[in-house]
A = this chain, B = another copy of it.
Amino acid sequence: MLVVQKFGGTSVADLARIRACAARSLRLARDGHQVVVVVSAMAGETNRLIGLANELVGYDGSGKGPYVSHAKAGDTAHERELDQLLATGEQASAALFAMAVQSQGGSAVSLVGRQIGMVTDGAFTRARIRGIRRERIDAELSAGRIVVAAGFQGVDASGNVTTLGRGGSDTSAVALAAALGADVCEILTDVDGVYTTDPRLVPSARKIDRITHEEMIELASLGAKVLQIRSVAFARRFGVPVHVRSSLHEREGTWIVPESPEMEAPVVSGVALDRNEAKVTVVGVPDVPGTVATIFGALGDAGIVVDMIIQNASRDGITDVTFTVPEADLERAAGILTDLRIEGRPLQVVTDPRICKISIVGLGMRTHAGVASRAFRALAAEKINVEMVSTSEIKVSVVVHERYGELALRVLHEAFGLGEAPDASG
């Protein structure tokens, strides 16, 4: 078997943990498997380097935003240097990991982005993978070595170092697994797998044994702490089986797999709570062609991602449009909308940050009717008012007042029997 094993920053946070992870990879290799390890930087290192860069350009570190030095976002020359700087984190941890394998009697070689042939476009700090030239990896594997690849990084056509953006090591691992035709891409982390919902909020939450890529993407917020959702989309595209499991023990975690015909999908796989959304209602909008395009075009131009959208039925040529945006973008969104004019008139905008979104996801929904109504009944029994609803083929999302968020999560988790062991009779 060819196995890609990705170890995150906490798994390689210090030399003791690096040694333990190296021992694990070495056991796998000694069992006769070919092993490609992908490592993140040691926990804290990437933030330390970003801190240096920010200090250098005079940024005081306040505010939110992407992981690039904030004062210089969009400055290509600066972002190029930032990638050159940040890539050292994974280069160092990969070299240490390879040494750890060697010091336990194994054979290993560390390879940086360029050496694994990870060719990307030239979009520094957020590069996209163009392809992987696997010759060097193939040669090292054939020589019986464990390949320890530096995650998160690549090289552009001009030989510049690039990085794939926050969480890019997951994407590196999945891309390598796809290019090499690996049997599995293991994501080794500090939790046991993906749960039916957040176990801190719902104690009866159960580890999911098996879930499809599609479901995992819809349950993004459940997986967010475990693996980068972008990498799941990548795994889906190339049909890479991903196994999310603990780096602390050998028990099975959660398999994220392509959907297969023989799969008996549970109706609902998981329930996720997202507190970071806010609601915007544009009241009394003229119901004429182009109105909605004007509103969402303006927000899209500003880089604001709109999630759920509901448009009420028109009455007397006037309608309301309600949607959600990330809470962090709410003020900016309101400002943009207030400045807009439709047929020469300003818009009336009502915002509400005190909401949250609960999503019920399951491949089985496609063939099982009544998931939405079962959810509404369960919520109504607890007198939880549903402010918005949207449904897709495998997901039902509801928006409720934030004070009911955790209660709604528990109610829905219970209503779909997620806390119980799965029925062995299938």
User: What is the interface of chain A, defined by CB distance below 8 A to chain B?
Assistant: 15, 18-19, 49, 52-53, 55-58, 75, 77-78, 80-82, 84-85, 87-88, 91-92, 94-96, 98-100, 102-103, 107-110, 112, 114-115, 136, 159-161
B114 and A99 contact, CB distance less than 8 A: no
A80 to chain B, nearest CB (A): 7
- Residue of A81, A88, A92 with most chain B CB atoms under a 10 A cut-off: A81
A102 to chain B, nearest CB (A): 6
A109 to B83, CA, bound (A): 12
A92 and B103 contact, CB distance less than 8 A: no
A81 and B110 contact, CB distance less than 8 A: yes
Give which listed residue, B52, B84, B110, contacts A84 with CB less than 8 A.
Answer: B110
A107 to B81, CA, bound (A): 12
Of chain B, the residue at the smallest CB distance from A98 is B81
A78 and B56 contact, CB distance less than 8 A: no
Prevailing SS type, chain A contact patch: helix
A56 and B92 contact, CB distance less than 8 A: no
Sample of 17 A–B contacts (CB below 8 Å): A15-B56, A19-B56, A53-B96, A58-B103, A77-B107, A77-B109, A78-B102, A81-B95, A81-B99, A81-B102, A84-B94, A84-B95, A84-B98, A85-B96, A88-B95, A114-B159, A115-B160
Residues of B within 8 A of A108 (CB): 77
A78 to B107, CA, bound (A): 10
A103 to B88, CA, bound (A): 21
The answer to whether A57 and B92 touch (CB under 8 A), given A81-B110, A115-B159, A159-B114, is: no
Known: A77-B108, A81-B96; 19 extra A-B contacts, CB below 8 A, are A15-B52, A15-B56, A53-B99, A56-B99, A56-B100, A56-B103, A57-B102, A58-B103, A77-B102, A77-B109, A80-B109, A81-B98, A81-B110, A82-B95, A84-B94, A85-B99, A88-B88, A114-B114, A115-B159
A43 to chain B, nearest CB (A): 15
Of chain B, the residue at the smallest CB distance from A159 is B115
Of chain B, the residue at the smallest CB distance from A100 is B56
A403 to B98, CA, bound (A): 50
A169 to chain B, nearest CB (A): 16
A147 to chain B, nearest CB (A): 13
